[in-house]
Amino acid sequence: MAPIFEAQLRAVSLRVTRPRLAVLATLRDHPHIDTETVLALVREELPAVSHQAVYDVLRALTDAGLIRRIQPPGGIARYESRVGDNHHHVVCRSCGVIADVDCAAGHAPCLTASDDHGFVIDEAEVVYWGDCPDCAARNSPTSEGIS
């Protein structure tokens, strides 16, 4: 998979470095993770990588459009490598797990605002909130009283 990541980096005029490759691989394998988790997973491959280096890589990759930073209201920033398709997210109110949600209409109707105020809109963020299946089962009235 490294040749694909190398090509992605070169396509946006970024140098190919081991930390950048490691962050891209980590986000491919673990979408929607926070900076500390990225750091911990990258350090499994590159033990000497600094905290600042990972922050710098995340910023550079986000600025280049290779990864996406998402931050649901009230939550911490998370990162994902799925970019360019204007997908949305569903967030569990109980445990904070995040999952991708494709547009239900089969296209991106959310990019057609009722009033765009003259903006050229290229992205919309929709966040659905609820309980994930595990939390819903734990929080259901039928699970309370069962030992």
Burial class (CB in 10 A: 0-12, 13-18, 19+), 28: middle
Strand, coil or helix: what is 53?
helix
Q: Residue 86's pLDDT is what?
A: 77
**In the predicted structure, residue 147 carries a pLDDT above the cut 50:** no
Give, for 127, the enclosing helix (H) or strand (E): strand 127-130
- Per-residue pLDDT of 7-51, as tens digits, reads 999 999 999 999 999 999 999 999 999 999 999 999 999 999 999
CA dist., res. 138 & res. 24, Å (int): 34
Instruction: Decide if 89 contacts 83 (C-beta within 8 A).
Output: no
Compute the residue count for the chain. Answer: 147
Domains located in the chain, CATH noted:
2-70 (1.10.10.10), 86-139 (3.30.1490.190)
- Copy the structure tokens of residue 129: 């909130």
- Per-residue pLDDT of 118-143, as tens digits, reads 988 877 788 889 999 999 999 887 65
CA dist., res. 140 & res. 23, Å (int): 38
Residue bearing the bigger pLDDT, 84 or 57: 57
**In the predicted structure, residue 146 carries a pLDDT above the cut 70:** no
CA dist., res. 6 & res. 120, Å (int): 31
Q: What DSSP character marks residue 109?
A: G
- Per-residue pLDDT of 48-82, as tens digits, reads 999 999 999 999 999 999 999 999 888 899 999 99
Q: What is the model's pTM?
A: 0.83
